[in-house]
Structure 1
Amino acid sequence: MFTLRPIARQVLRLPKWTQIRSVTTLDGRPYIYVFPNEAASGESHVLSLLPSRPTNPSVPIGITSKLPPTPESFKENPSFLNILQEVISKYAHEDPDNISQAQMMVSTSGANLSSGGVLLTGQKARRRRASADSSGGASGQGGAGSAGRGGWIHVFDERRPPEYGRIPWPEDIFGSLEVDGEGKFVDGNGNYQPSGTYRTITRDGIIAPSPFLREKLVQRLHEIESQ
């Protein structure tokens, strides 16, 4: 005759040393990761678009002595800026936001922007700021032409979208793309021209490229980090 024996439940016990490390990100910028700067004697932090501690010195966005970073506490990484411009030059003409700008600029329903400007649609237009000093400071930079003539559109940081019909501040402009009279990018890629005025961080916050360009930038940084 068989005897039923109680089966003891085996409890999975994790080793005491097992820990789950949390990854810190910037408030309002969940795609920017924060790491202690082990190379510095004082307290500072390394900022990166990659979720693991950078080992290649070209990868970090920069270093900040406090959080959240400010223009005074932050030191930008020139190598990162070069990579940023490399990625924008290669992919800006494929960004849906820039394609939309180019088409709107030459549309018969587009505004006459002979003084230079950027046409925004969708979420960017709805997010435009109402401050009185919003974008006029960059009017001398040039921008989109009037409807049907072509011209230039600006590739800009989304931390401070400009008013409708205005162009961004120079410190927010990555560069510009040339558009023909049909709303297509000249030579297929828009002949991207860096602005030379872009700043990684301003009073409006740290770098915030479009989702499309950010994805391309992260891919490139992964490639560099793995080399």
Structure 2
Amino acid sequence: MKYALISDIHGNLQALERVIEDIAERQVDEIYCVGDIVGYGAQPSECITEIKRICRGSVAGNHDWAAVGKTDIGFFNKEAKAAVLWTSENLDFEEKRFLAELPLKLYFDNAMIVHGTPVAPEKWDYLLYTNRLGAQFAYFSEPICFIGHSHVPVVWTNAYERIPPDTEKPLKLEEGRRYIINVGSVGQPRDGDPRACYSIFDSEKKAVYIRRVEYDIDTAANLIRDAGLPEKLASRLYRGF
């Protein structure tokens, strides 16, 4: 089976549509969302509609639950707070109910999905350094856990390795090795590459592919500006950071 893992769409319909087109060309069997469908971008409703249409399942991200009052936004920066409030005002009842009912964890094909970290996913912690890996692997038993949240694609192993993404060749999963894989961000990459990012997991070939896709940043940025959202949320799309 081939699975596409998409995360951190953040209301960026232009990026999501291009990723969906790319997925359609790769004989993927199922699509899973790793959270943060909304927030930052100007088309949250449209992105929710697409995720409901294409995804086998989705987990909650902090911006998803923030938009429906299920998580504290006290630690959000001012741009994120402004986007959460705007998003909440622009979603209807059914869209809010969908976000509110998203689970914190999902399981498929001997893999787990959480938005933040396996340890206490409801706290929305970031996995950024190898010195935090030991505790993370103790909180799930599957060979692979797919995460998002940091908007930076990267692979961590239970041998305390940090493997940078390589879009030119797949990551071959080794027997007996366990992995935490950040699948990257569709709608707001933060690794210096502004292209939309997602991952494909081939469970038969035991391989993970990191995909980058060009999209219409101008339209996404202008929609953010037209909505009256903070300028930083538009301009950062061009930098990929």
Q: Same fold (TM over 0.5)?
A: no
Q: Normalized against structure 1, the TM-score is what? A: 0.21
Q: Normalized against structure 2, the TM-score is what? A: 0.21
Higher relative contact order (CA 8 A, sep 6+): 2
Bigger radius of gyration: 1
Q: Which of the two has greater helix per residue?
A: 2
